[in-house]
Amino acid sequence: MKKLVLAEKPSVGRELARVLQCFRRETGFMEGDHYIVTWALGHLVELAEPAAYSDRYRRWSLRDLPMLPPVLQQEVIESSKDQYAIIKGLLERTDLESVIIATDAGREGELVARWILKLAGYQGNAQRLWISSQTEGAIKEGFANLKDAHLYDNLYKAAESRAAADWYVGMNVTRALTCHYDAKLSAGRVQTPTLALMTRREDEIEAFSGLFYWTLKADFGSFSASYYPEEDSIRITDEATAKRLEAELAGAQGVVASLETEEKFEQPPLAYDLTELQRDANNLLDFSAKQTLDVLQSLYEQHKIVTYPRTDSRYITTDIVATLPQRLKSLFGTPFASLALRYVKDGFRVDEERFVQDLQVTDHHAIIPTEQAVDLSRLNAEQRALWELIVVRFLEVLSPDYRYRTTTLKAEVAGSRFKTRLTLPVEQGWRDVARLVGKRSAQTSLSDEEETSPVLLALAKGDPLHIESVKVRRLATVAPSRYTEATLLSAMEHAGRFVDDAKLKKRLSSGLGTPATRADIIEKLLQNHYIQREGKELVPTPKGRELVRLAPQELQSPELTGLWEERLGNIAEGKEDGERFIKDIKENASSLVDQVIKSGESFSPRFPDAKTCPYCKSPMMRVVDDIGQNHYLCQRLSCSYEEMEIKKRVRSNSATLPPQKVVVKAKPVAADGTKKRVVLKKKVDKKEPLASFSLPDDEPAPSYTWETVIEVVRPSKLSFRKETREHKDTGGWKSPVSANHLVDESPIAGGSFADFLKASEERKKRDREKKHR
């Protein structure tokens, strides 16, 4: 009898097969004497589309909302059906003893495996592999300590409840917004509040009116000090006061009011979780959140030199402490060798009060190096840069405190207070790690101050002082900064600070989304054209701002996801029943749909560089694709016209002729539905082949010009109708308030970007088939 091991990805499956000595390769699995190893391709099974419950859901209509099937069904993803069939066949083998679930050790990994087993009808024994790294030692130890799969039943219930809740709310609200406003709009419990964070910041920037303030700094000869009108502020609020002080204090006499010296220390930073690593990689390496996760995943799966990436913990458990020396030894063949060797020989810091926290680790501990020896020649530039960031932080965690001495001088001059500070390091501690290995630390120090002369150490309280000169500077308050991926990840992680209610703040301790999903949320907002990148900044588009304006208020706030995550956590711990949660979610979805339908607003984004749609006269949004070409997209779903600007180099007969603009438009089909295909051929005389070509000496070289060609990417739906209603150009359009409004050729998978893209591809396929008939 054999055991079937179900991994989440082929790369992980192949590594498990190697360790388990499954060397016979078959299509979709590998087999050995005792084990069969197969794999999913991420998710093989998903929740069924609305059309699976009723034919009337095939078309999007307000009259059919809300869609609340009593029980949600699962179905195989079309692109993955072959691999699913292979797994189902393996589960039906007569020599199968049991199944070992080896998908990612977390809530979503549990869902991947359980849905496959559920749809395949498997009722046999099951065990769970739970590991945090892909090294051979970790895999062998994990298989030696397999757990009963039933111990993770509550985790599966929480995952399934999360998926069902997202279906009920996402499907219903997306269809309601799309049908009611006749525009491609999608909403969700994480996507919408995340977008709202950025749109509110943009509103703050636009409403910001800067104020001037002044600062005053006095030169005391051997040092300089700043004037403090208040205890903790150097700002002077009006110019007259600044000018008066400048005149009064120049050449004035004063004394040292106080001189205090303190010894302080800074503890090392904690190790990385995924969000913290994505933040630092964005700041230091210009990596996007998605790029960081992808590179990190390759370091974990392919090279096996870092631990599990999708973690929300910055701590390790007690059992990991014994492995730290071996993890240091894995660095011996790298630029970190000298410091790692010193720590192995002389010992290192193990902060059991801060870093070793069993209760702070949920599914997985912090991201740290594994015991696998590192071969830098196998890493590309991105992998090496990210790995070095992780190793520097790992070594900093194991280092002593940074200790420093700070001397603060306060001076009194003609009744005015001045202050300056001198900071001198006593022991560099963790701050020395980056310097010793020639790298840059991502952690800034709290003690970094403006440099001041060490002459402060020679002064004493009561010593006379003389101001030699005074300098006044005029400054202005700064508008709030737009979000970058780094700051947005921080805002999503600490979403509780945007909520006033104390209880909800506590519920939002885990933030918006999870470390594993935040990168995908940002990418989805970009793909849907709700936000765009401008350098490192993420800027909401007019379409994104309009969506937030129209979305139900409850969906815009982080409070909703805070409530959900608290209850999902309770389900995972067995403290709450999932059925009660789903009942409440259905009521919530109905309420949200009702709010959208009753809205009297219209979807009217104001695009600064818009064109007018030639069919429906509404504004078209400009989008720049990956190769820099301009696309113009009509925002009315009932029209959906899209065109693209293409620059072509053409030969010019005369250099004096101005470039011509050529417009290519989709022509309507003849009434009989027939199309003609014209092929032009150039006749070549076979008797006199053209062997070579050159310009006569007296003929000038040809000149070229660039012409802009407009190419139709997607014809308007209105162009295929016999009668087209006239639309007035009002800068927007009124919502179709009729509850019976239907949207033709609508996507049927919940309104996400992938769904819209899928529907678009299907339309293009139908268009191609028509052309070849």
- Active site positions, annotated: 308
In this structure, are residues 274 and 311 in contact, taking their beta carbons and an 8 Å threshold? yes
Query: Is 608 in a helix, a strand, or coil?
Result: coil
The Cα 617–Cα 619 span in angstroms is: 7
In this structure, are residues 499 and 559 in contact, taking their beta carbons and an 8 Å threshold? yes
Query: Is 611 in a helix, a strand, or coil?
Result: strand
Report whether the peptide linkage leading into residue 605 is cis, meaning its omega lies within 30 degrees of zero: no
Which two three-digit tokens encode residue 250?
Answer: 């120049």
The Cα 642–Cα 615 span in angstroms is: 11
Query: Is 650 in a helix, a strand, or coil?
Result: strand
The Cα 20–Cα 5 span in angstroms is: 10
In this structure, are residues 638 and 743 in contact, taking their beta carbons and an 8 Å threshold? yes
Contacts of 206 (CB under 8 A, 6+ apart): none
Query: Is 307 in a helix, a strand, or coil?
Result: coil
The Cα 411–Cα 311 span in angstroms is: 50
Q: Calculate the CA 606 to chain-centre distance.
A: 26
Instruction: Select from 290, 269, 264, 586 the least CA-distant residue to 441.
Output: 269
Burial group, residue 419, by CB count within 10 angstroms (0-12, 13-18, 19+): middle
Instruction: Select from 553, 559, 554 the least CA-distant residue to 496.
Output: 559
Strand duo 742-743 + 703-714: pairing = unpaired
Q: Which residues in 493-587 belong to E strands, given as ranges?
A: 531-534, 537-540
Contacts of 697 (CB under 8 A, 6+ apart): none
